A = this chain, B = another copy of it.
Amino acid sequence: MSGNESRFEQNSEGAGYLPGLAMDFVIFGFDQDQLKILLLEYRNTNLFALPGGFVKENENLNDAARRVLGERTGLADIYLDQFYTFGDLSRYDQEPLRTIMQAKGMDPKDDHWLLRRFVSVGYYALIDFRRAAPTPDPLSDNCVWYTLENLPALMLDHNDIVKKALETLRANLDRKLGGNESWAAPLLAKAFTMGELQKLYETILGQKLRRSGFQRKMLGLDILERLEKQYSGGAHKAPYLYQFIIDK
A interface vs B, CB < 8 Å? 18-21, 55, 57-62, 64, 82, 84-89, 117, 119, 121
Contacts and interface: CB of A to CB of B under 8 A. Distances in A.
A20 B18 CA distance: 7
15 contacts: A18-B20, A18-B119, A20-B21, A55-B119, A58-B89, A59-B89, A60-B87, A60-B89, A61-B86, A61-B88, A61-B119, A62-B87, A62-B88, A64-B87, A87-B121
A117 B18 CA distance: 9
Contact of A19 (B20, B58, B64, B121): B20
A12 to B, nearest CB: 17
Contacts of A62: 87-88
A15 to B, nearest CB: 14
A59 B21 CA distance: 15
Contacts of A82: 84-85
A7 to B, nearest CB: 22
Given A20-B18, A20-B21, A60 B84 contact: no
Nearest to A60: B88
Which of A20, A58, A88 has the most chain B CB within a 10 Å cutoff?
Answer: A20
B21 A119 contact: yes
A55 B87 contact: yes
Nearest to A65: B87
A85 B61 CA distance: 9
A85 B85 contact: yes
Contacts of A19: 19-20
A84 B83 CA distance: 7
B20 A85 contact: no
Nearest to A87: B61
Which of A20, A85, A88 has the most chain B CB within a 10 Å cutoff?
Answer: A85
Nearest to A57: B117
Contacts of A121: 85, 87, 119
A210 to B, nearest CB: 25
Given A18-B20, A60-B89, 8 more contacts: A18-B117, A20-B21, A55-B87, A57-B117, A61-B86, A62-B87, A62-B88, A85-B121
